[in-house]
């Protein structure tokens, strides 16, 4: 059974940093492309960024508004993917989902981690 | 950025009726790079359809989808009580990947 478990969410002030972790199990993690998708409270879904498998280059891609502030990384030895978020803004407030990619669509989702940016 | 516009915003139906949801892209995204998701309150989204028309594992065959270019459709042949939810389309032809704003089937 595929499991994705996010952790690290919480309340931070504007300008602060936060790191989300996603522990994966139930599939061959090293071969998977992983993404983060967020959902502000009461609003729709927004892709944040992704990281390819190391076999496919390990490169990352980001939503333009977060490109210079967020960094996605992976640790294949621990089946984990991370989202480092710096210089957080109030508009970054959302539930952040860790998801597996299936040819560009998202076939498995974690339960989400709530990040609240507020002074 | 490719903007996806879903219509209608809300679809009011009774169980057993047919639901037709539309997703229109602001530019041609080809014939294969569209997905559909279902989201219920308090839950993560669930993949229904990928590659425009392929059902994800475990998705019942009352869900079907089609389209190409800029116009895509998700059809629920006969709505079951568990189908009342929010539905999102998503394109993965271009970066950044984008979602529609959602259609609420109530």
Contact B51 A103 (CB under 8 A): yes
Pairwise CA distance, residues A76 & B12, whole Å? 46
Give the residue numbers in A contacting B (CB under 8 Å), as ranges. 44-47, 61-64, 97, 102-107, 109-112
Q: pLDDT digit string (tens) for A10-54?
A: 999 999 999 999 999 999 999 999 999 999 999 999 999 999 999
Q: pLDDT digit string (tens) for B23-72?
A: 999 999 998 899 999 999 999 999 999 999 999 999 999 999 999 999 99
CB under 8 Å to A109, separation ≥6 — which residues? A4, A37, A97, A98, A99, B44, B45, B46
Which of A105, A106, A108 should we substitute to test contact with B (largest number of B Cβ atoms within 10 Å)?
A105
* Phi/psi at B90 (5° precision): -150, 135
Pairwise CA distance, residues B36 & B55, whole Å? 9
What token pair was written down for B23? 């997703």
Contact B47 A105 (CB under 8 A): yes
Q: Tell how strand B10-11 and strand A70-75 pair up.
A: unpaired
């Amino acid at each position: 059974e595929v499991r994705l478990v996010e952790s690290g969410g919480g309340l931070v002030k504007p300008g602060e940093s936060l790191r989300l972790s996603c522990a994966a199990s139930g599939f061959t993690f090293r071969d998977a492309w992983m993404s983060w998708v967020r959902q502000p409270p009461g609003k729709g879904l927004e892709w944040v960024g992704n990281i390819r498998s190391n076999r496919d280059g390990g490169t990352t891609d980001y939503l333009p508004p977060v490109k210079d502030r967020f960094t996605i990384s992976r640790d294949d030895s621990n089946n984990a993917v991370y989202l480092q978020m710096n210089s957080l803004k109030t508009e970054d407030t959302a539930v952040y989902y860790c998801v597996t990619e299936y040819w560009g669509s998202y076939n498995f989702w974690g339960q989400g981690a709530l990040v609240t940016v507020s002074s | 950025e490719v903007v996806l516009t879903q219509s209608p915003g809300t679809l009011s139906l009774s169980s057993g009726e047919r639901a037709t949801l539309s997703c229109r892209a602001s530019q041609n995204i080809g014939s294969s790079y569209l997905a559909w998701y279902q989201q219920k309150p308090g839950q993560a989204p669930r993949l229904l359809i990928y590659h425009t028309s392929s059902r994800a594992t475990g998705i019942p065959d009352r869900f079907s989808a089609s389209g190409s270019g800029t116009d895509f459709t998700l059809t629920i042949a006969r709505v079951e009580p568990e189908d009342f939810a929010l539905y999102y389309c998503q394109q993965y032809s271009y970066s950044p990947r984008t979602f529609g704003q959602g259609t609420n089937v109530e």
